[in-house]
């Protein structure tokens, strides 16, 4: 019920923010992003919503207009188009640019076109990083630890959303 209420508030935040008393003073404007840009903090806050709600993996179900699969989740986190449930791994390069490992920042992604994508949440050490992802059927959206070397040796590369503002 709280998840449904949150999604309702997310959709109506621009309309209600001036008159809504949330009690705990949560800044709902963090989730209201423009179609032209998004900050890294907004990306990570959006990513955490699905983790907290344990959104189950699905290539057919949607949450807030986005498919509940890996590319739908990254599309949601980046607040990109909901057309068709969000981008898919085969066309994600239309909205992101390949970057180097040393340029990676939270909110970037690690992509293998037509296969899989995960959201990068920051470095733990020179190989390990926080990974936010919808992985497979039977799983839920989660934050875990990933190995950059594993992804790099299996055809993945880091990329940055073209509309991230910082």
Taking the C-alpha atoms of residue 78 and residue 86, their distance in angstroms, rounded to an integer, is 10
Asked if residue 72 is part of any domain, the answer here is: yes
Q: What is the DSSP letter of 39?
A: -
Digit-coded pLDDT (tens) for 105-133: 999 999 999 999 999 999 999 999 999 99
Q: Report the C-alpha gap between 121 and 118 in whole angstroms.
A: 9
Q: How confident is the model at residue 35 (pLDDT cuts 50, 70, 90)?
A: low
State the pTM of this model.
0.78
* Structural domain for 103, as ranges: 38-161
Query: What is the pLDDT at residue 84?
Result: 80
Residue 83 is assigned to a structural domain of this protein: yes
pLDDT value of position 86: 85
3-state secondary structure of 158: strand
The sheet with strand 109-112 has its strands ordered as 96-98, 157-161, 109-112, 116-123, 128-133, 142-147
Q: CATH number of the domain at 141, please.
A: 3.90.1720.10
Assign 72 a pLDDT band (cuts: 50, 70, 90). Answer: very high
> For residue 110, what are the contacts with CB-CB under 8 A and spacing of at least 6?
117, 118, 120, 131, 146, 148, 151, 156, 157, 158, 159
What's the confidence (pLDDT) of residue 15? 32
Question: For the segment 2-29, what is each residue's pLDDT rounded down to a tens digit?
Answer: 443 334 333 333 333 333 333 333 333 3
Say whether 73 sits in a helix, a strand or coil: helix
Number of domains in the chain: 1
Quick check: is 24 in a domain? no
């Amino acid at each position: 019920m709280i998840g449904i209420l949150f999604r309702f508030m997310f959709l109506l935040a621009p309309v209600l923010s001036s008159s809504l008393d949330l009690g705990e003073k949560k800044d709902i404007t963090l989730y209201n992003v423009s179609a032209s840009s998004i900050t890294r903090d907004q990306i990570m806050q959006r990513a955490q919503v699905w983790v907290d709600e344990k959104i189950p993996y699905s290539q057919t179900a949607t949450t807030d207009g986005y498919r509940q699969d890996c590319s739908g989740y990254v599309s949601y986190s980046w607040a990109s188009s909901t057309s068709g449930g969000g981008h898919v791994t085969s066309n994600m390069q239309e909205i992101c640019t390949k970057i180097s490992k040393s340029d990676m920042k939270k909110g970037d992604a690690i992509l293998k076109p037509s296969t899989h994508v995960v959201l990068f949440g920051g470095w733990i050490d020179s190989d390990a990083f926080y990974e936010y992802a919808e992985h497979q059927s039977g799983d839920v959206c989660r934050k875990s630890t990933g190995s950059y070397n594993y992804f790099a040796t299996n055809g993945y590369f880091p990329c940055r959303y073209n509309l991230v503002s910082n």
